[in-house]
Amino acid sequence: MGAEVNTAMTNSVIQARGLRKAYKNKLALDNTTFDIPAGRIVGLIGPNGAGKTTALKAILGLIPFEGDLKVLGKDPRTERDALMNDVCFIADVAVLPRWITVAQAIEFVAGVHPRFDAAKCRRFLEGTQLKPGLKVREMSKGMIVQLHLALVMAIDARLLVLDEPTLGLDILYRKQFYQRLLEDYFDEEKTIIITTHQVEEVEHILTDVLFIRDGRISLTAEMDTLGQRYVEVLVDAGQLDAARALQPIDERSLPFGKTVMLFDGVPPTQLQALGETRTPGLADLFVATMKGTYA
């Protein structure tokens, strides 16, 4: 058992144990514990105020906190400078200064990140309308996303942290952002953490999910295993009592007297006798586990 734990720990990009952070009277992180393995795309998903950004700030060494945290084997509180050589952090992609030109943006990132490859960035921009002298204020939103992506993808970081990266962008550019990230950046040597509350948007690219609620991790799972663990049942009218006896984690009513229940860890063979079954989407799970009401 000990050997298994040690192997898991060495394969982890992030190991968090009992993180605690209080702001005035509110606990933003409350005994928060999780592991993030290497070579994964992890969604840190929760409502506003759940602790997502605080967790990221702890990972990036931007705030003091209690507990044990290792990021790429380093403590972000005491080894932040060394850690930042291997980490890239991107918040809202729509916030590049409006006066900056393409050439100046490349020059700026080259000055602040040791792993940035300016030549690689310029190669990403070949064939686009993003010429060196073009200013951000002269660009469409789609062009700004292209520039931001080129800057990100030219950084050879082992850990990429994206905090609500596509706020303010319409759905076309949001999809384009994540697709390019997947096709041109991600590989098994890199790990990506994405915080968002727009679940449907990232569901198709995630390998793992962490739900955070009130500063605690309420769900941690590989996307591949969610369908084995969670089952939604459209319960037949005569089976309501039998279904409730299996203790669903959520229940909601539909028109015409139909009832949908969500089960965690109940064998599918048991549930098939109760009515029509299906695997819930990540958004359904999110609503059920976060609000206790299943919408």
**In this structure, what DSSP letter does residue 285 have?**
H
Residue with tokens 């063979």: 269
CATH superfamily of 2-214: P-loop containing nucleotide triphosphate hydrolases (3.40.50.300)
Residue 1 pLDDT: 39
Give CA–CA dist 48/57, Å, rounded.
15
Q: Indicate the domain borders of the chain.
A: 2-214, 225-291
Residue 36 sits at φ, ψ, to 5 deg, of -125, 115
The C-alpha R_g of the chain, in whole angstroms, comes to 22
CA proximity to 86, closest of 164, 9, 156: 156
The series of mean pLDDT values per 10 residues for the chain, 295 residues long, is 41 93 89 93 89 92 95 95 88 78 94 90 89 94 85 89 81 81 85 86 90 90 88 92 92 86 91 92 85 45
Q: What share of the chain is helix, strand, coil (3-state, %, to 5)?
A: 35, 30, 35
Residue 55 pLDDT: 94
Residue 164 pLDDT: 84
Give CA–CA dist 291/295, Å, rounded.
9
Per-residue tokens: 23: 């702001």
Per-residue tokens: 218: 């309420």
CA proximity to 54, closest of 170, 205, 216, 270: 216
Cα separations in angstroms, 224 against 41, 191, 206, 228: 13, 17, 10, 8
Give CA–CA dist 225/217, Å, rounded.
17
**In this structure, what DSSP letter does residue 138 have?**
G
Residue with tokens 């800057």: 151
Residue 291 pLDDT: 66
Residue 293 sits at φ, ψ, to 5 deg, of -120, 135
